[in-house]
Amino acid sequence: MTRAIFLLIFCFFGAIPASSLSAQPWELIWSDEFDYTGLPNPERWGYDVGGHGWGNAEKQFYTEKRQENARADGNHLVIEARKESWSGRDYTSSRLVSKGKGDWTYGRFEIRAQLPSGRGTWPAIWMLPTNNSYGTAYWPDNGEIDIMEHVGHNPGTIHATIHTDAYNHLRGTQRGSSKSVPDASDAFHVYAVEWTPNRMVFSIDEETFWTYSKGLSNWQGWPFDKDFHLILNIAVGGSWGGQQGIDDSIFPQQMLIDYVRAYRYTATPELTFDAPANLEAGGTATFMGTATVQNPDHRILRVELYQGDGLLETIRSGGQWSASIENVHKGCYTMRARTIDTGGWSTFSDSKMLNAGNTSCTENAPYLMRPHLIEEKIEAEYFDLGGPGVAYRDRSNTNDGKGIRLNEGVDVYPTTDGTGYHVANISRGEWLTYTVQVDQAGVYDLQMRLESQAAQISFSLEFDGQDKTGVIEHTNTKNIFQTIRVITENGIELNAGTQVMKVHLRGGAPKLNWMQFKLRSPTNREELPEHGETGLIGNYPNPFTTYTTIQYRVGQPGRVVMELFNLLGQRVRTLADHHHQTGEYSTVVYAEGLSTGTYFYTLTGDITAQRSLQYLGH
């Protein structure tokens, strides 16, 4: 018995290194070994064609399907730069692209190549984004990954570089490194990048020489979460390659590529997800599941709970996890979970439908399952569920912004204003709705984060079908994101309770990031004195820092005393003590002489009333 246990333990320990080694997380999914002759395989490669300098004042013309410039020789791809006249250029070459034939988000890319040599050559093995997803310019906003660059006037030095909106050579802020490879033009080497959600590791012959990490970057520093494709070319001359001129005696020059291999990561974490299918409106929905790593070098970082594309909760544990959403509003919701491991790899669960309140799903429902609180940021992209005609009106029935909520008609874009999203392509007559919760009835002012194409925007707000603003016209600086404060004479008077806010956009073509309401002065109708009664209306602002104004009403002529007390019940001040006629009055409490804290003010007349106020200090 003892011996058996010992053997088991022995085997167990013996098995660990083996299983670690066998956990190869990369699977070959795309390659070209160039073991054929003739033009490059058209199922793998297309061509960038032209002689316009390619943004770098390059001198070559890139030809298309011309064996003199690009061919397979039975073992290698040969890209050849030649000295010959072609369409007004003095050199020809080739630039092969895998766009539309090989596009990947993340992966390991290995290219075994021998480089050309000589002053004026500029071979490159690199990647560009397949789609235009970020910012205002395809380049550099959407990124560039240079796995290998070499310039003939600096032989034997290999450069790896990334370019982004924040880091690029136009600003002199590009990030990169270089490595000495003295025989790069005489021998084959394997140039590789291992691109994962958290970082890019650049290597030559499996030896890492540079790592670029995502860190806390948003898209300006890390647009590398979209599809990229491969590019293989030799440029001639140009802003970098031609810095010391072109030696015309060197041509033709060849880059030989033995293979191009693309690998997919296979060890993404695993996730299970259980969700209720039905719930009473106002009920608590509990979600649970398990999250486990496949890669033994990683651990689970967190689990995220989503309604659609909206993050609801972050659960900072793996293994068994659960999360609850309380007070779920009536509506139909698409629930899913995602787990993320320490390598940045993530896995989404399947979606599960949740019907709260046995609804037909065609009414307004708040996107994040609970109404937006009116005094918190209301993200424009989290307009209501319910679809066109109910939750919004949009003139094009596709989401042209391709940000989130891709199957809705509203045009949601990844914002150029930091992180997150905004709604743009807003044309006259479009509207959006938001289910909101107003806890404190009162008069509100509105802040909006937006950029407008015109110097004036116009809009109006409805709450539960009632126009609360008329048409508001606001003048602002155009073409820049800014927070505007819309302060109208009468403010926006809102009732307490859950209601549907409808934002009618009438002009100015804004890009709307978020809205937020600020309480100007409260009304509390239940506690307000009826007209003709003596009582306290309230004080504003509360809390306060310099002074606050108390409003009160006197119903019957007579002596009225207004006093201020501290929490110990000691009278601090007498604010009024005189004969009052019927009417509304106000008195000011100045901060001078008060200690920070809470106070009570008491009205004594034909009735007695008391409320509190709070002094925040200076």
Q: 513 vs 548, which CB is nearer to Ca ion?
A: 513
Q: Is 420 in the site for Ca ion (CB under 5 A)?
A: yes
270 is catalytic: no
Residue of 58, 80, 110, 149 marked catalytic: 149
The secondary structure of residue 11, as a DSSP letter, is H
Pick from 379, 384, 408, 451: which binds Ca ion (CB under 5 A)?
379
Q: Say if CB 80 and CB 256 are below 8 A apart.
A: no
Work out whether 237 is an interface residue with Ca ion (CB under 5 A): no
Residue closer to Ca ion, measured from CB, 34 or 167 = 34
Which of 269/366 has CB closer to Ca ion?
366
Choice between 33 and 313, CB closer to Ca ion: 33
Cβ of residue 401: shortest distance to Ca ion, in angstroms? 8
Q: How many whole angstroms separate alpha carbon 538 and alpha carbon 519?
A: 14
425 contributes a contact to Ca ion by CB under 5 A: yes
Of the candidate residues 26, 31, 33, 462, the single one contacting Ca ion (CB under 5 A): 33
CB distance 113 to 189 below 8 Å: yes
Judged by CB under 5 A, the stretch of 174-182, 220-228, 388-396, 438-446 that binds Ca ion is 388-396
CB nearer Ca ion, residue 404 or residue 561:
404
Beta bridge pairs of residue 149 = 124, 159
Q: Is 32 in the site for Ca ion (CB under 5 A)?
A: no
- Asked whether the beta carbons of 440 and 493 are under 8 A apart, the reply is no
Q: How far is the CB of 504 from Ca ion (least distance, A)?
A: 13
Residue 411 in the binding site for Ca ion (CB under 5 A): yes
Write down the least CB distance from residue 234 to Ca ion, Å. Answer: 18
Give least dist CB 346 to Ca ion, A: 22
Among 146-154, 206-214, 395-403, 436-444, which window interacts with Ca ion (CB under 5 A)? 395-403
Output the smallest distance, CB 79 to Ca ion, in A. 14
Nearest to 361 by CA among 390, 320, 402, 336: 390
Query: At its nearest, how many Å lie between Ca ion and the CB of residue 110?
Result: 12
Q: Would you say 108 and 194 are in contact if contact means Cβ atoms under 8 Å apart?
A: yes
Question: How near is the Cβ of 231 to Ca ion at its closest, in Å?
Answer: 19
Question: Which one of 160-168, 349-357, 505-513, 608-616 is the stretch in contact with Ca ion (CB under 5 A)?
Answer: 505-513
Q: Are 373 and 437 in contact (CB under 8 A)?
A: yes
Query: Which span (14-22, 278-286, 379-387, 503-511) binds Ca ion, by CB under 5 A?
Result: 379-387
Site string for Ca ion, 558-577 (x = CB under 5 A): --------------------
**444 contacts 491 by C-beta, under 8 angstroms:** yes
Pairing of strands 270-271, 285-292: antiparallel
155 sits near Ca ion (criterion: CB under 5 A): no
Q: How far apart are CA 465 and CA 507, in angstroms?
A: 21
Q: Are 589 and 574 in contact (CB under 8 A)?
A: no
75 binds Ca ion (CB under 5 A): yes
Residue nearest to Ca ion (CB): 396
Residue pointed to by tokens 């025989």: 183
Q: Which of 48, 68, 258, 462 binds Ca ion (CB under 5 A)?
A: 258
Query: Which string of DSSP letters, residue by residue, matches 55-115?
Result: TTTB-EEE-SS-TTTEEEESS-EEEEEEEEEETTEEEEE-EEE-TTTSEESSEEEEEEEE-
CA 465 vs CA 330, 460, 499: distances in Å: 19, 12, 9
Contact between 447 and Ca ion per CB under 5 A: no
CB of 393 vs Ca ion, minimal distance in Å: 9
- The closest alpha carbon to 436, from 389, 387, 376, 388, belongs to 376
Q: Which stretch binds Ca ion (CB under 5 A): 34-42, 343-351, 358-366, 556-564?
A: 34-42
Only one of the segments 39-47, 171-179, 277-285, 411-419 lies at the binding site for Ca ion (rule: CB under 5 A); that segment is 411-419
Q: Which of 144, 304, 379, 430 is catalytic?
A: 144
State in angstroms the smallest separation of the CB of 398 from Ca ion: 5
The kind and range of the H/E element at 21 are helix 2-22
Q: Which two tokens stand for residue 365?
A: 């429902």
Helix (H, G, I), strand (E, B) or coil at 14: helix
Q: Which of 435, 437, 513, 516 binds Ca ion (CB under 5 A)?
A: 513
CA angle 231, 233, 239 (to 5 degrees): 110
User: In the annotation, is 533 catalytic?
Assistant: no
User: H or E stretch including 175?
Assistant: strand 175-180
409 binds Ca ion (CB under 5 A): yes
Distances (CA, A) of 371 to 311, 354, 388: 15, 17, 19
Antiparallel, parallel or unpaired: β 89-93 and 60-62: parallel
Is position 309 an interface residue for Ca ion (rule: CB under 5 A)? no
Instruction: Give dist(CA 91, CA 528) in Å, integer.
Output: 86
Q: Does 227 bind Ca ion (CB under 5 A)?
A: no
Nearer to Ca ion, 36 or 565 (CB): 36
Amino acid at site 486: V
Q: How many Cβ atoms from other residues are within 10 Å of residue 471's Cβ?
A: 11
Active site residues: 144, 149
Give me the residues that bind Ca ion (CB under 5 A), please: 33-34, 75, 258-259, 379, 394, 396, 409, 411, 420, 425, 513-514
